[in-house]
Chains A and B, each alone.
Chain A
Amino acid sequence: MSKHDFRGGVLIENPYPLNQLSVVEVPPPKKAIYLLKQREGASAKPKVKVGQKVKVGQVIAVSNNDYCVPMHSSISGVVSAIDDQPIAHSSGLKVPSISIESDGKDDWISLKGCGEEVDKCTPDEIIEKIRNAGIVGMGGAGFPAHVKIKGAQGAKTIIINATECDPATLCDDALMRKYPEEIIKGIEVLMYACQSQKAIIAVEEDKVDAIIKLNQTIKNKNICVEAVPIKYSTGAEKLLIKLLLDKVIPTGSFASSSGVLCQNIATVKAIYDAVVIGKPLVSRIVTVNGSALKNPSNYEVRIGSSFSDIVKKSKPSANPHEIRVGGMMMGVDVPDKNYSICKITSSIIVDEIKIKQKESACIRCSKCNEVCPINLLPQQLFWFCKSDNTKKASSYDLQDCIECGCCSYVCPSHIPLVEYFQYGKALVKKELREQELAAKSRERYEFKEFRLDRIKQERDKMMAEKKAALKAKMAKEKDNKAKIAEALKRVNDKKK
Chain B
Amino acid sequence: MITGKPILNTSNLMLQVIYGLILGVALQFYFFGWGVIYQITLALITGIAAEIIFLKIRKKSIDAIKDNSAALTAILLAISIPSIAPWWIVVLGTSFAIIFGKQLYGGLGSNPLNPAMLGYAFLLISFPLEMTRWTSSFLSFGEGLNVIFSSINIDALSSATRLEEAKFALMEGEVSNPIQIDRTVWINLGFLFGGVYLFYKKVITWRIPLSFLAGIIVMSLLLMLIDSDHAMGPVFHLFHGATMLGAFFILTDPVSSSTTPRGRLIFGFLIGILVIIIRTYGSYPDGVAFAVLLLNIAVPLIDYYSKPKVFGR
Contacts and interface: CB of A to CB of B under 8 A. Distances in A.
* A and B co-occur in one complex: yes
A380 B259 contact: yes
B108 A361 contact: yes
B151 interface: no
A118 interface: no
Interface stretch (B124-132, B226-234, B304-312): B304-312
A477 B280 CA distance: 110
Contact of A364 (B2, B11, B259): B259
A239 B94 CA distance: 48
B9 A414 contact: yes
Interface string A368-390: 01110111110110000000000
A213 interface: no
Interface in A337-393: 357-358, 360-367, 369-371, 373-377, 379-380
B20 to A, nearest CB: 15
A11 B67 contact: no
B254 A363 contact: yes
A371 B1 contact: yes
Given A361-B108, A369-B260, A369-B261, A238 B312 contact: yes
B115 to A, nearest CB: 12
B9 A363 contact: no
Residue among A13, A231, A361, A365 with most chain B CB within 10 A: A365
Nearest to A8: B1
Nearest to B9: A412
B77 interface: no
Nearest to A373: B311
B189 to A, nearest CB: 27
B277 interface: no
Contacts of A380: 259, 303
A239 B3 CA distance: 18
Given A369-B260, A397-B313, A231 B108 contact: no
Contacts of A248: 311-312
B64 interface: yes
For A358, A370, A377, A414, the residue with the greatest tally of chain B CB atoms inside 10 Å of its CB is: A377
> Of residues B3, B205, B257, B259, which shows the largest number of chain A Cβ atoms within 10 Å of its Cβ?
B259
Interface in B137-173: none
Main secondary structure of the interface of A (DSSP, over half): loop
A434 interface: no
Interface in B268-313: 303, 307-313
Contacts of A413: 9-10, 109
Contacts of B1: 8-11, 231, 371
Nearest to B264: A366
A326 B1 CA distance: 24
Interface string A388-419: 00000000110010000000011111100000
Contacts of A11: 1-4
A239 B311 CA distance: 9
B256 to A, nearest CB: 8
B259 A379 contact: yes
Contact of B12 (A374, A397, A412): A412
A227 B310 CA distance: 26
A17 interface: no
B254 to A, nearest CB: 4
B33 interface: no
Contact of A410 (B6, B109, B257, B303): B6
A23 interface: no
Contacts of B9: 357, 360, 412-414
Contacts of B307: 377, 396
Given A251-B312, A397-B313, A363 B8 contact: no
Interface in B220-263: 254-255, 257, 259-261
A374 B312 contact: yes
Contacts of A367: 2, 6
Interface string B3-28: 11110111111000000000000000
Given A251-B312, A371-B1, 17 more contacts: A6-B311, A7-B311, A10-B2, A11-B4, A242-B311, A360-B11, A360-B108, A363-B69, A369-B259, A373-B311, A374-B312, A379-B259, A380-B259, A397-B313, A400-B310, A410-B2, A414-B9
Interface of B: 1-6, 8-13, 63-64, 67, 69, 107-110, 205, 254-255, 257, 259-261, 264, 303, 307-313
Cβ-closest 10 pairs across A and B: A361-B109, A11-B3, A251-B312, A365-B254, A374-B311, A361-B108, A366-B259, A375-B308, A412-B10, A397-B310
8 contacts: A13-B4, A15-B5, A248-B311, A249-B312, A364-B254, A365-B254, A397-B310, A413-B10
